Amino acid sequence: MKQITFSYTTKLTFDDDVHDHSFALRIIPPDSPVQKLLQYDLHITPLTQYCQTVDAFGNHVISGYINEPHRFLDFTIKGRAEVDLSQSRTDFLPCYRYPSELTKPDASIQAFFADHRTACDSSDPAACAAFWSELLSDTLRYEKGVTCSGTTAAEVMAAGAGVCQDFSHLLISFLRLHGIPARYMAGLAYCNGETHAWVEYWNADHWEGIDPSNNCPVSENYLVLSQGRDFADCSINRGVMLGNYTQQMQLVRSVLS
Amino acid sequence: MGTISLEHSSRLYWLGRYTERTFRTLEALQGLYDKTIDDTAAYTAYLAAFGLPDSYDSSTAFFHCFLYDKSNCDAVAYSLERAYDNGIVLREAISSEALSFLQIAKDTLKRSEHAENILLSLLPLKDTFYSFWGCIMDQVYDEEAWNLIFCGKSMERLMLSLRLKAPYAEVSRIFQKLCRRLRFVPEGTPYRCDPERLEKLTAYLSSETGYNMHTAQAIHELERIFEVSP
Amino acid sequence: MTHTEIRQAEEAQSLFTEAIGNAGEINELLRRYGVKFGIYKNGVFKEQFFPFDPIPRVIPAEDFHLIEKGLVQRVNALNKFLFDMYHEKQIVRDGIIPEDFIYLSKGYLAQCEGITPPGEIYSHISGIDLVQGKDGAWYILEDNLRIPSGASYPLIARELTRIACPGAFAQHHITDNRNYAELLRDTMEHVNCGGIRAILTPGRYNAAYFEHSYLAELTGAVLVQNDELFVEDNKLYQRTYNGGKTQIGVLYRRISDEYLDPLTFYPGSVIGIPNLMEAYRSGNLGLINAPGNGVADDKGIYYFVPKMIRYYLGEEPILQNAPTYLPFYDEDRQYVLDRLDTLVLKDVSEAGGYGVVFGSDLTKEQLSELRDTILAEPRRFIAQEVIDFLDLPILDNGRTVLRKADLRAFVLTGKETKVWASGLTRFSRNPDSFVVNSSQGGGFKDTWVLSR
């Protein structure tokens, strides 16, 4: 068991006024047998009323609406949580066994899968996960700027490079081809100053975590912010706004200690 | 009821304006047709009143263009199409019954294009419009919605009367009517009058001499009468 | 035509002389009231009048009684299935329906997991397509539980046929169908979470705009578009022209699930309302129909509906499906491949009459191509026996001819499930076609449900 303090900030800046801005944030760590949120503070500016619900995948959703013109949206969460890997998550949805929009295998993923699948034992999810994670770290280059948030597993396969999100999507794609349920985890980890992404796979009766971009199992240094079938279910921040802005800058900073 | 959206309010207002424009244009053209029997060049005065160039070979060409040419924004057919465009998205507000009269009007106008006697074939069109407005009076229970249509209607009528230099007595009556309509417009909506402009307009139209001297200024103020342009 | 068919046509001609005589007037009235549907031809929007045939379809009271019982049963089971799917999934755990048919279906929306709609109702308005076989039996052809359209056409047509042929209505005991507005209003009010009733349309250029605006007029609902709506405090509001806002308690939305909320579904949707799903999830909004219903009207799931009726209600299905095979099952696959040239193949991912192939129309090469596609993606298809439809008489240039027709029955679920004593009878104008969809050039007729 480990106690961690965390903070996470996003600053959205627009080059002109925006209005009618609806947003949905997934930044409050959801409680589970593995992690308990002990205390937190949430700040959103411009000051606005917001509501909180829990979505289909168990994530906290903060939703709000800003009608008045504004040029920025900042939100910060700071808090303390307890992470205990001797416990495990058991919340299950059958959709985690099936392809999703961003992880759908194309012909080349299927061919790659067919070439290598015999090297691991489909009946042992842990061995499978470790095998594909290893194989990915050998085949895929970790490189920023090659992919974006909407990049699919198939596109990553073609590009041969990507970031934590892309490693996770490909690993999920392979595991689901084995028939092993797998899901996308978004959150904070010690290793970097932004948000991180990793994978959980279903092992008989519970979830286990693996971090494919670092090719290692997850530790008590990983704090989950949201989970889902792929990145699209886990966006930290989704928003729709009106205005004549042409660009939107996003600054993200996260600290885990 | 408090369920009129901005888009809807503008549709209602312009439905009023375009139906009135269709009707009054038709009426003016019918009058002109009568004059043309004695003077084939009578239509040129009509063009002049609106500041339009005379590019027509004959009065027949003029009438055809001003009645049926949907690409001519001063034509009856054009206004009627715009009225219908606004009406079709207001079915639930004005009733299917009222909307059906706009379809009938379109059909009548279309048929008259190939009629031997255009004037005779256009007669039912006026009946149709009277039915349409009667239907609006009868079927539209939301007074705000109702008032918006008639604001548009009175506004259009005053505008055309000023441009066509209608007799003062008529203009004065129409102006009074518009003022009554405008008083019912709720606060906070784009159809509230700018009080200063209304005051100026009232001054211009308070006497026949004022009207004769300041028609152009009156039109100028009327065009900008709303605080926010709808 | 066979001898019996000729007699059938002649009978129709003599029975409905009044209606036939006034066919022109009725169509003229329909035109006047703007009974149109929009279609896109080569990317250009066009409005078409929906051709109306004056000879009504007559459904005897005892037939309708059976249809009514069967449809109430079917829709109740489908509603229970939808609740189960987005909650415990007991029917899958119990092995009645293979998991693949749920989670590979495009209509399943994981984002709706765990949401309990007001009254636990998912399909408030169900459009169930039926056909009558030559043997007189009614078969279910398809369930439409997303946004089934078409109720407005028979509704306004009745208004006009009663004007054009009062004699026929005086002579026969025809159930009045003009209560649809009331049924719809009650259905909406039943799930109203506090606020006004509204119908959401994508706009004038939608194929069914006439229907949206006509139903709004009849039910007294406000017809809205997304740009006047917003969600604040997880409540849906209409922005009014005086700068105020009015809460909407129930929204009959006529746009597809994937465009409904850009913050939950397709992010590029410009016709949706951001955070609409949050308002819905929080119980502040009734949505008609519930998002995610596509999982229950998938052509693949159709096969399992009789099983659902037994499973959830413990009853035997009153109305039968058309005999259907799933190539997904080994034993069915062999049968389908052996008899490909006599069956109808339906691609489960297509709708609106598209993706339907009659084996008998295909060349040898096309058949073998289809065989390969089925072997590669067995779950993508269902196969059905071609039902020997009971053709209906229609008027064609003054002559009575027989054409294929179906019946879309409308079933409304509020406090209880009710079948509207009417329906949309669509027919194909083309003598060789089985496809009756309006988007494919079909017409419609009035449907008389006899009260005795």
List CB contacts (< 8 A) between B5 and chain C. 224, 228, 238-241
Q: What is the pLDDT, as a whole number, of residue C83?
A: 98
Q: What is the pLDDT, as a whole number, of residue C348?
A: 80
Q: What angle do CA B186, B189, B191 make, to 5 degrees?
A: 85
DSSP label at B143? H
Q: What is the pLDDT, as a whole number, of residue B17?
A: 97
| Average confidence (pLDDT) over C180-187 | 97
Query: By the 8 A CB rule, do A8 and A77 touch?
Result: yes
Q: What is the pLDDT, as a whole number, of residue C121?
A: 98
Classify residue A157 by burial, with Cβ atoms within 10 Å: 0-12, 13-18, 19+: buried
| Average confidence (pLDDT) over B144-163 | 95
Chains touching chain B through at least 3 C-beta pairs below 8 angstroms are C
Q: What is the pLDDT, as a whole number, of residue A194?
A: 80
* Secondary structure class of C133 (helix, strand, coil): strand
Three-state secondary structure of chain A? CEEEEEEEEEEEEEEEEEEEEEEEECCCCCCCCCEEEEEEEEEEECCCCEEEEECCCCCEEEEEEECCCEEEEEEEEEEEEEECCCCCCCCCCHHHHCCCCCCCCCHHHHHHHHHHHHHCCCCCHHHHHHHHHHHHHHHCEECCCCCCCCCCHHHHHHHCEECHHHHHHHHHHHHHHCCCCEEEEEEEECCCCCCEEEEEEEECCEEEEEECCCCEECCCCEEEEEEECCHHHHCCEEEEEEECCCCEEEEEEEEEC
| Average confidence (pLDDT) over A76-89 | 94
Q: What is the pLDDT, as a whole number, of residue A134?
A: 96
Print burial letters for B49-87: b (CB count within 10 Å at least 16), e (below 16).
eeeeeeebeebeebbbbbbbeeeeeebbbbbbbbbbebb
Please judge whether B92 and C228 are an interchain contact, meaning their C-beta atoms are less than 8 angstroms apart.
no
| Average confidence (pLDDT) over C330-354 | 85
Ranges for all domains in chain A classified under CATH 2.60.40.2250: 2-85+236-256
Task: Please name the member of C31, C34, C242 whose beta carbon is closest to the beta carbon of B187.
Answer: C242
Q: What is the pLDDT of residues A212-225, one digit of tens each?
A: 999 999 999 999 99
| Tokens standing for residue C75 | 């829709």
Q: Work out the minimum CA distance from A243 to partner chain C, whole angstroms.
A: 14
pLDDT at C232 over 70: yes
Cα B215 to Cα B203: distance, rounded to the nearest angstrom: 11
Please judge whether C33 and B99 are an interchain contact, meaning their C-beta atoms are less than 8 angstroms apart.
yes
pLDDT at A26 over 70: yes
CB-based contacts of C360: which residues, under 8 Å, 6+ apart? C341, C342, C386
Tokens 């799931």: give the residue: C301
Q: What is the pLDDT of residues C89-122, one digit of tens each?
A: 999 999 999 999 999 888 999 999 999 999 999 9
Q: What is the pLDDT, as a whole number, of residue C44?
A: 78
Q: What is the pLDDT, as a whole number, of residue C442?
A: 79
Q: Which amino acid is at B183?
A: R
Query: By the 8 A CB rule, do B49 and B42 touch?
Result: no
Please judge whether C263 and A56 are an interchain contact, meaning their C-beta atoms are less than 8 angstroms apart.
no
| Average confidence (pLDDT) over C148-177 | 90
In B, residues 162-191, which contact C (CB 8 Å cutoff)?
186-190
Task: Please name the member of B92, B95, B189 whose beta carbon is closest to the beta carbon of C242.
Answer: B189
Split at pLDDT 50, 70, 90, the class of C84 is very high
Chain C residues near any Cβ of chain A (below 8 Å): 89, 92, 99, 102-104, 108, 110-115, 230-234, 262-264, 267, 274-275, 278, 281-282
| Tokens standing for residue C258 | 């994937």
Helix H or strand E encompassing C413: strand C405-413
CB-based contacts of C368: which residues, under 8 Å, 6+ apart? none
List CB contacts (< 8 A) between A56 and chain C. 110-115
**Cβ atoms within 10 Å, residue A193:** 11
Split at pLDDT 50, 70, 90, the class of C389 is confident
List CB contacts (< 8 A) between B95 and chain C. 217
pLDDT at C352 over 60: no
Q: What is the pLDDT, as a whole number, of residue C435?
A: 63
* Secondary structure class of C445 (helix, strand, coil): strand
> Is B96's Cβ below 8 Å from some Cβ in C?
yes
Q: What whole-number percentage of chain C has pLDDT above 90?
A: 68
Query: By the 8 A CB rule, do C135 and C378 touch?
Result: no
In C226-286, alpha helices (H): 276-281
DSSP string, C344-407: EEEETT--TTTTEEEGGG--HHHHHHHHHHHHH-GGGEEEEEPP-B--EEEEETTEEEEE-EEE
Please judge whether A65 and C231 are an interchain contact, meaning their C-beta atoms are less than 8 angstroms apart.
yes
pLDDT at A228 over 60: yes
Q: What whole-number percentage of chain A has pLDDT above 70?
A: 99
List CB contacts (< 8 A) between C250 and chain B. none
**Cβ atoms within 10 Å, residue B114:** 9
pLDDT at C38 over 80: no
Q: What is the pLDDT, as a whole number, of residue A191?
A: 61
Query: Highest-confidence range of B46-60, C45-59, C348-362, by mean pLDDT?
Result: B46-60
Q: What whole-number percentage of chain B has pLDDT above 90?
A: 88
C-chain residue closest to A236, CA distance: C263
- Point out which residues pair with B130 in neighbouring strands: none
Task: Please name the member of C222, C242, C246 whose beta carbon is closest to the beta carbon of B186.
Answer: C242
Please judge whether A24 and C275 are an interchain contact, meaning their C-beta atoms are less than 8 angstroms apart.
yes
pLDDT at B1 over 60: no
C-chain residue closest to B12, CA distance: C241
Ranges for all domains in chain A classified under CATH 3.10.620.30: 94-234
Q: Is the pTM of this model over 0.80?
A: yes
List CB contacts (< 8 A) between C114 and chain A. 56
Q: What is the pLDDT, as a whole number, of residue A158?
A: 95
Task: Please name the member of C196, C214, C228 whose beta carbon is closest to the beta carbon of B6.
Answer: C228
Interface with chain A: mutation pick from C263, C266, C271, C276, highest number of A CBs within 10 Å: C263
List CB contacts (< 8 A) between C108 and chain A. 95
Please judge whether C32 and B100 are an interchain contact, meaning their C-beta atoms are less than 8 angstroms apart.
yes
> A94-234: which CATH topology?
C8orf32 fold (3.10.620)
Please judge whether B3 and C241 are an interchain contact, meaning their C-beta atoms are less than 8 angstroms apart.
no
Tokens 């307009």: give the residue: B201
pLDDT at A255 over 90: no
pLDDT at A161 over 80: yes
Q: What φ, ψ does residue C423 adopt, rounded to 5°?
A: 140, 170
Q: Work out the minimum CA distance from C280 to partner chain A, whole angstroms.
A: 11
User: Domain A2-85+236-256 - what CATH class?
Assistant: mainly beta
Helix H or strand E encompassing C449: strand C443-449
Please judge whether C34 and B91 are an interchain contact, meaning their C-beta atoms are less than 8 angstroms apart.
yes
List CB contacts (< 8 A) between A240 and chain C. 262-263, 274
> Is B135's Cβ below 8 Å from some Cβ in C?
no
Please judge whether C89 and A94 are an interchain contact, meaning their C-beta atoms are less than 8 angstroms apart.
yes
Please judge whether C263 and A23 are an interchain contact, meaning their C-beta atoms are less than 8 angstroms apart.
yes
Tell me, yes or no, whether chains A and B touch by having 3 or more C-beta pairs under 8 A. no
The mean predicted confidence, pLDDT, of chain C is 91
Please judge whether C263 and A53 are an interchain contact, meaning their C-beta atoms are less than 8 angstroms apart.
no
Q: What is the pLDDT of residues C63-76, one digit of tens each?
A: 999 999 999 999 99
Q: What is the pLDDT, as a whole number, of residue C351?
A: 60
Q: What is the CA radius of gyration of chain A?
A: 19
B-chain residue closest to C241, CA distance: B6
Please judge whether C281 and A55 are an interchain contact, meaning their C-beta atoms are less than 8 angstroms apart.
yes
Task: Please name the member of A24, A56, A97 whose beta carbon is closest to the beta carbon of C263.
Answer: A24
* Secondary structure class of B224 (helix, strand, coil): coil
Q: What is the pLDDT, as a whole number, of residue B169?
A: 96
Query: By the 8 A CB rule, do C294 and C257 touch?
Result: yes
Q: What is the pLDDT of residues C393-442, one digit of tens each?
A: 998 888 889 998 999 999 999 999 999 999 999 998 887 766 666 556 67
> Is B4's Cβ below 8 Å from some Cβ in C?
yes
Query: By the 8 A CB rule, do B215 and B162 touch?
Result: yes
Query: By the 8 A CB rule, do A33 and A88 touch?
Result: yes
Q: What is the pLDDT of residues C293-336, one digit of tens each?
A: 999 998 889 999 999 999 999 999 999 999 999 999 998 999 99
| Average confidence (pLDDT) over B15-27 | 97
Cα A227 to Cα B46: distance, rounded to the nearest angstrom: 72
- Point out which residues pair with C245 in neighbouring strands: C239
| Average confidence (pLDDT) over B59-88 | 95
Dihedral Cα C116, C119, C122, C127, nearest 10 deg? 180
Q: What whole-number percentage of chain B has pLDDT above 70?
A: 98
**Which of C142, C130, C143, C147 minimizes the C-alpha distance to C57?**
C130
| Average confidence (pLDDT) over A168-192 | 92
The strand pair at C44-49 and A50-54 is best described as unpaired
The strand pair at C196-200 and C245-253 is best described as parallel
Q: Which amino acid is at C146?
A: R
Q: What is the pLDDT of residues B175-195, one digit of tens each?
A: 999 999 999 999 889 999 999
Cα A77 to Cα A8: distance, rounded to the nearest angstrom: 5
Q: Which CATH architecture has domain C323-385?
A: 2-Layer Sandwich (3.30)
Q: What is the pLDDT, as a whole number, of residue C301?
A: 93
CB-based contacts of B162: which residues, under 8 Å, 6+ apart? B171, B215, B218, B219, B222
Chain C residues near any Cβ of chain B (below 8 Å): 31-34, 156, 196, 204, 213-214, 216-217, 221-225, 227-228, 238-244, 246
Please judge whether A239 and C263 are an interchain contact, meaning their C-beta atoms are less than 8 angstroms apart.
yes
pLDDT at C270 over 70: yes
| Average confidence (pLDDT) over A167-179 | 97
Ranges for all domains in chain C classified under CATH 3.30.1490.270: 323-385
